[in-house]
Amino acid sequence: MRPSDRIARCFSEQGLKAIELHHTAGQKYVFTAQHPEHGTVILKVIKPDQDIERIKREIEIVKGCQGFNTSIIYDDGEIEFEDEKFFFIIESYIDGVNLRQYLNENQLLTHSEVYKLLSSILTAIQLLEGRNLVHRDIKPENIMRAYDGTYYLIDFGIARDLSMESLTDTNSRFGPHSAGYAPIEQINNEKKHIDSRVDIYSLGVIAYEGLTGTNPFLDGSENIIHVIRKIQRGSFSLEVNGGEHDELNEFINACMNKYRNRRPSSAVEAREWFDTILKNYESRG
């Protein structure tokens, strides 16, 4: 019997039903299951010897933001299994696909879809900012698109609480990040420069990718060094040519500016700017 099957059987004895392995992600088993109170849920089981302190911090961050375009944690804790302790999280199930899957199926996002994406994720980033938090890993794989069209930000595994001591080694050459979506200050582990502008940058890259079908930093790059050089140059932008979406293009270009002081200074400012653009877009019908 596979380890995942044995784990599922263990949790079935705790009251969960119809437990099925959804996927494995690094040191984590992810299952779907039926909960007696919450219906369909996601069960995450983290393998032993992981960074439990970071996992616990992730849980507290999600608990502080849940319900605002993020998942909801119903239960968490430790369970002993075959003489080892596993950490588990039971959270809400989002009926949909992640944005990477959606892009693979549809190639591009319509402008209407990009407006919905930006609105939803900016709401989440603004909420995080208000709690002195930075997600640091916004990418298509960490955005869920529910079948009703709502977008959710998930996976707070490397989120940082700016009011607490960083868990990342200050002497590390690179900070935690996903290649092609993180700004240069995050890549270079410049801790004092990490704030919501990191998340705003990542969201800008995703919007660019959704509209063009390519990630300007990953496309054509042979290795991580090439990716970093492209990010340092920051020479990619959406065209502004007198079209009806110029305001949106300018906003996205600003969000993914290589210089952090040329991006919106905060999630609040980004939201206010975007809302003006959205209002103008909606007024045109």
Q: Given pLDDT bands bounded at 50, 70 and 90, which one contains residue 4?
A: confident
Task: State the amino acid at position 41 in one-letter form.
Answer: V
Helix (H, G, I), strand (E, B) or coil at 73: strand
For tokens 């603004």, name the residue. 126
Cα 224 to the chain's mean position, in Å?
A: 20
Q: Which residues pair with 81 in a beta bridge?
A: 84
**What average pLDDT does range 22-45 have in this prediction?**
89
Residues 6+ apart with CB under 8 A from 234: 256, 257, 258, 259
CA distances from 205 to 32, 44, 142 (A): 31, 28, 14
State the pLDDT at residue 240: 58
Among 49, 76, 137, 195, the one annotated catalytic: 137
Does 75 qualify as catalytic in the annotation?
A: no
**168: burial class by Cβ within 10 Å (0-12, 13-18, 19+)?**
middle
* CB 176, CB 168: distance < 8 Å: yes
What single-letter DSSP state applies at residue 47? P
Is pTM, for the whole model, over 0.75?
Answer: yes
Domains along the chain?
A: 3-92 (3.30.200.20), 96-283 (1.10.510.10)
Neighbours of 103 (CB within 10 A): 18
CA–CA distance, 125 with 129 (Å, rounded to integer): 6
State the pLDDT at residue 79: 83
Residue 244 above 90 pLDDT?
Answer: no
State the pLDDT at residue 63: 81
Cα 209 to the chain's mean position, in Å?
A: 15
Give the residue ranges of DSSP H helices in the chain. Answer: 3-12, 52-65, 99-106, 111-130, 184-187, 196-212, 224-233, 246-255, 267-283
- Supply φ then ψ for residue 189, to 5 degrees: 60, 40
Helix (H, G, I), strand (E, B) or coil at 34: strand
Q: Which of 30-34, 53-57, 159-163 has the highest mean pLDDT?
A: 30-34
